[in-house]
Homo-oligomer: A and B are copies of this chain.
């Protein structure tokens, strides 16, 4: 979790939603968990573009916001599993529509890149 100097006010729904789904990896992580990749090591293997550290940070954040639940199975070897909460499941349509839109508008957004 990152320290914020300026508290945000959650004045509009958009900014609330962006706390969950904005950012570079959160939506992807939520997507992965919804598809059954519920153990940290699975996520680490799938998201090789980022380091495990990055995924962990986002998992803590999503847990803090009540999007995912963490279940620690007692005993060794360690076994941890993440699940989407009801709130977390309600985010999936947002991710879905964003993914569809992005897939259909890759060109116009992509072209002007320098």
A residues sitting closer than 8 Å to B (CB atoms) are: 4, 7-8, 10, 12-24, 27-28, 31, 64-66, 87, 90-91, 93-95, 97-106, 108-110, 112-114
Cross-interface CB contact of A102 among B12, B27, B106, B112, cutoff 8 Å:
B12
Contact A91:B101 (CB < 8 A) given known A7-B113, A14-B28, A65-B112: yes
A24 CB, nearest partner CB in chain B, Å:
7
Cross-interface CB contact of A99 among B13, B28, B97, cutoff 8 Å:
B13
A7 CB, nearest partner CB in chain B, Å:
7
Cross-interface CB contact of A65 among B10, B12, B23, B109, cutoff 8 Å:
B109
Q: Which residues of B contact A12 (CB under 8 A)?
A: 28, 99, 102
